[in-house]
Amino acid sequence: MSALVRTRSATPVLQGGARVFYRRAMRTLQKAGVPFLVGGAYAFERCTGIARASKDLDVFVRPSDCRGALDVLARAGYRTELTFPVWLGKAFSGRDYIDVIFSSGNGVAQVDDGWFAHAIPERVLGLSVELCPIEETIWSKAYVMERERYDGADVVHLLRAAGQAIDWRRLLGRFGAHWRVLLSHLVLYGFVYPGEQSRVPAWVLEELTRRLRTEVEAPGSEARLCQGTVLSAAQYLADIEQWGYEDARLRPRGKLTREDTAHSRRTVG
């Protein structure tokens, strides 16, 4: 578990049917023995102290548990669907809904045992649950760079709030070959908070800039690869559809199939 200092209780103001729905759904999953973590606005407030009006509840499960979670919620009387086979299911109660998340839209940030091993105990809506770890929250948000949604400010706020509690070696491991994405957010953090750069350990920046120097000095690759699709499902379509670049989301480089990306294209198009 991350050694994260408590900021505020993860209980954004929520009234009426949504509160009843979310509490009952979480209790239903708990009684059925379906492991889950709470993320979204609840985890973000827990880590940063920034409260947001929550339009839904995000629960994170292992891919192998998604169908079981949806089945349990369906038996409890809620309408469910596997919205995106790559990463997301939903459960509905009237206009209110729960996102059942097991990966990210680009296939990168898949929920695994590490999410649960480092989860943060908390109370949400009066129930004892576990929140997504700070490292995985940063990892998953770092790739959200759509035209209509950019989570870079969230990442910066998470770094400011919890930089000294982050398991940086584990975070580096999460980004793996995508270390440039992490470096870009750390550079932005230093710009936003020039007087609080010590929250990011110097050795992390030294390691990432060493990698950058090594890569820049190495012979250039001839591969026509666009990794922009890992950051946005919509903004780099010209690269792969018109200019002949390889889509980095696709196997064997990535985890998605052409059918997966076509589904995503229909959604954003």
How many Cβ atoms are within 10 Å of 151's Cβ, its own excluded?
Answer: 20
How many Cβ atoms are within 10 Å of 39's Cβ, its own excluded?
Answer: 24
Q: What is the pTM of this model?
A: 0.91
Sequence-ordered list of residues with C-beta below 8 angstroms from that of 204, at least 6 positions apart, any chain: 168, 172, 186
Strands 79-84 and 127-131: unpaired
Q: What is the pLDDT of residues 117-148, one digit of tens each?
A: 999 999 999 999 999 999 999 999 999 999 99
Q: Which residues pair with 64 in a beta bridge?
A: none
Band of the pLDDT at 53, cuts 50, 70, 90? confident
Q: How far apart are CA 137 and CA 154, in angstroms?
A: 10
Q: What is the pLDDT of residues 79-111, one digit of tens each?
A: 999 999 999 999 999 999 999 999 999 999 999
Task: Map out the domains of the chain with their CATH numbers.
Answer: 16-132 (3.30.460.40), 141-217 (no CATH), 225-263 (no CATH)
Task: Give the model's pLDDT for residue 264.
Answer: 62
Q: What is the pLDDT of residues 198-243, one digit of tens each?
A: 999 999 999 999 999 999 998 877 789 999 999 999 999 999 999 9
Sequence-ordered list of residues with C-beta below 8 angstroms from that of 146, at least 6 positions apart, any chain: 232, 233, 234, 235
Sequence-ordered list of residues with C-beta below 8 angstroms from that of 228, at least 6 positions apart, any chain: 235, 236, 239, 248
Q: How far apart are CA 104 and CA 86, in angstroms?
A: 8
Band of the pLDDT at 54, cuts 50, 70, 90? confident
Q: Which residues pair with 236 in a beta bridge?
A: none
Quick one: what percent of the chain has pLDDT higher than 70?
92
Query: In the predicted model, what is the mean pLDDT of residues 55-81?
Result: 97
pLDDT for residue 14 is more than 90: no
